[in-house]
Structure 1
Amino acid sequence: MSAVASEWFSTWFDSPYYHRLYQHRDHAEARAFLGRLLTHLHPKPGARLLDLACGKGRHSRYLSEQHYDVTGVDLSAQSIAYARQFAHEHLHFHVHDMRDAMPYGPFDLVLNLFTSFGYFAEEAENVVALRNAAAALRPGGKLVVDFLNTDRAIRELVAHETQTVDGIEFRLYRHFQHDFIVKEIRFEDEQGQEQCFEERVRALTQERFEEYFALAGLRLAETLGDYHLGPFDPATSPRMIFVLKK
Structure 2
Amino acid sequence: MLSVAAEWFSTWFDSPYYHRLYQNRDYAEARDFLSRLLTHLHPKPGATLLDLACGKGRHALYLSEQGYGVTGVDLSAQSIAYARQFAHAQLHFHVHDMREPLPYGPFDFVLNLFTSFGYFEHEAENVVALRNAAATLKPGGKMVIDFLNTEQSIRELVAHETKIVDNTSFHLYRHFHNDFIVKEISFLDEQGLEQRFEERVRALSRERFEEYFRMAGLRLAEVLGDYHLHPFDPATSPRMIFVLKK
Query: TM-score, normalised on structure 2?
Result: 0.98
- Map residues 163-174 of structure 1 onto 2, 5 A cutoff: 163-174=163-174
Partner of 2:204: 204
Q: C-alpha deviations, 1:150-171, integer Å up to 9, x for none?
A: 0000000000000000000000
- Map residues 9-158 of structure 1 onto 2, 5 A cutoff: 9-158=9-158
Partner of 2:219: 219
The one-letter code of the counterpart of 1:128 is: V
CA distance in 1, matches of 2:100, 2:140: 22
SS of the aligned residue for 2:94 comes to: strand
Partner of 1:229: 229
The one-letter code of the counterpart of 1:89 is: A
Gaps in structure 2 of 5+ consecutive residues: none
* Alpha-carbon offset, residue 85 of structure 1: 1.0
CA distance in 1, matches of 2:85, 2:37: 26
CA distance in 2, matches of 1:9, 1:224: 27
* Alpha-carbon offset, residue 6 of structure 1: 2.3
Q: C-alpha deviations, 1:199-230, integer Å up to 9, x for none?
A: 00000000000000000000000000000000
Aligned-residue Cα RMSD (Å) equals: 0.7
Q: C-alpha deviations, 1:120-174, integer Å up to 9, x for none?
A: 0000000000000100000000000000000000000000000000000000000
CA distance in 2, matches of 1:43, 1:98: 24
CA distance in 2, matches of 1:18, 1:45: 36
SS of the aligned residue for 2:59 comes to: helix
* Alpha-carbon offset, residue 45 of structure 1: 1.0
Count of residue pairs brought into register by the alignment: 242
Partner of 2:188: 188
SS of the aligned residue for 1:37 comes to: helix
Partner of 1:159: 159
List 4+ stretches of structure 1 deviating above 6 A. Answer: none
